[in-house]
Amino acid sequence: MIPPILRKLLLYYWRDLICRRGNARYCPICQHRSWKFTSYGVMRRPDARCPWCGSLERHRCEWLYLVRKTDLFDGRNKTVLHLAPEACLETLFRQRFDKTYVTADLVDPHAMLRMDVMEIPFRADRFDVLLCSHVLANVSNDGTALSEFYRILKPGGWAILLEDIQENPTFEDPVIADSKERLRWYGHHDYVRRYGPDFIGRVQEAGFTVDIVAPQDIIDPAEFALYGMAKAVDDIYYCKKLDNKDTISFF
């Protein structure tokens, strides 16, 4: 006699409680251990979502990269713009950067600023770091957005971009507007394109230098199962805005 919606919620939280028992999995973000991670996604991925903080594979990979391979947490204060902030990461960034940390989203009411990434309301050379995960595939003109990212970063500043990259070239068709058709063609109901390996060229056209970082460059083989990343995880795009000292001269 339990209403369907309430039954679904009870099953959801019961599943999380069950998965929290054990230590076969470890989330580096919330630092909790679990028996296993729960399934997640339109096409359900097993062992994907942390039952404690809700982090997914890409969030855990990004966090490990930021901690292990960047200077983000070297003790120097930095101005950080976090687009479409993930709840599992936002709390940690707020603790570390306080008033120099800004969150923005076009629709999420919990973000500090409601903002369209094609018209970012900040002056040029404003931020040291920009974090953007699975946003650009939703943007009608990603070239304009990338140019805005470049504009607001300080010389020497950098951005972390994460997108679902497929093997085939980038595909987009403005005629595909129905949510069901977008799900069929792009893999998500509100995407406007499906990126391919040529994504790097789009980022470089905005002026960035780009390093592609594979998960195995960050994580030891023995850690993949522990962090729930036995399945393929997307590469990380580390995009830097050069400053004067980085400029290469041949004269």
Return the domain boundaries, the chain: 1-54, 56-242
Per-residue pLDDT tens over the stretch 230-240: 666 889 999 99
pLDDT of 12 higher than 60 = no
- Residue 183: closest CA among 46, 43, 45: 43
C-alpha to C-alpha distance for 162 and 225, rounded to whole angstroms: 21
- Residue 112 carries which DSSP code? S
Per the CB < 8 A criterion, the answer to whether 54 and 88 are in contact is yes
Asked whether the CA dihedral 133, 125, 94, 65 is positive or negative, the reply is positive
CATH 3.40.1160.10 fits 56-242, yes or no: no
Query: What is the predicted pLDDT for the residue at 13?
Result: 56
Per the CB < 8 A criterion, the answer to whether 20 and 34 are in contact is yes
Give the ranges where the chain is alpha helix by DSSP (H).
4-19, 57-69, 87-97, 142-152, 179-186, 199-205, 223-226
Per-residue pLDDT tens over the stretch 98-147: 899 999 999 999 999 999 999 999 999 999 999 999 999 999 999 999 99
C-alpha to C-alpha distance for 100 and 130, rounded to whole angstroms: 12
Task: Quickly count: other Cβ atoms within 10 Å of residue 76's Cβ.
Answer: 8
DSSP states of 2-20: --HHHHHHHHHHHHHHHHT
Q: Which pTM value belongs to this model?
A: 0.88
pLDDT of 68 higher than 90 = yes
Query: What is the predicted pLDDT for the residue at 249?
Result: 36
C-alpha to C-alpha distance for 42 and 222, rounded to whole angstroms: 28
Query: What is the predicted pLDDT for the residue at 114?
Result: 97
How would residue 208 be classed by pLDDT, with cut points 50, 70 and 90? very high
In the chain, the DSSP E strands lie at 25-26, 33-34, 38-40, 45-49, 80-83, 101-105, 113-114, 127-133, 153-162, 209-213, 236-240
Of residues 65 and 244, more confidently modeled: 65
- Residue 120: closest CA among 193, 206, 195: 206
Residues in the chain: 251
C-alpha to C-alpha distance for 172 and 126, rounded to whole angstroms: 32
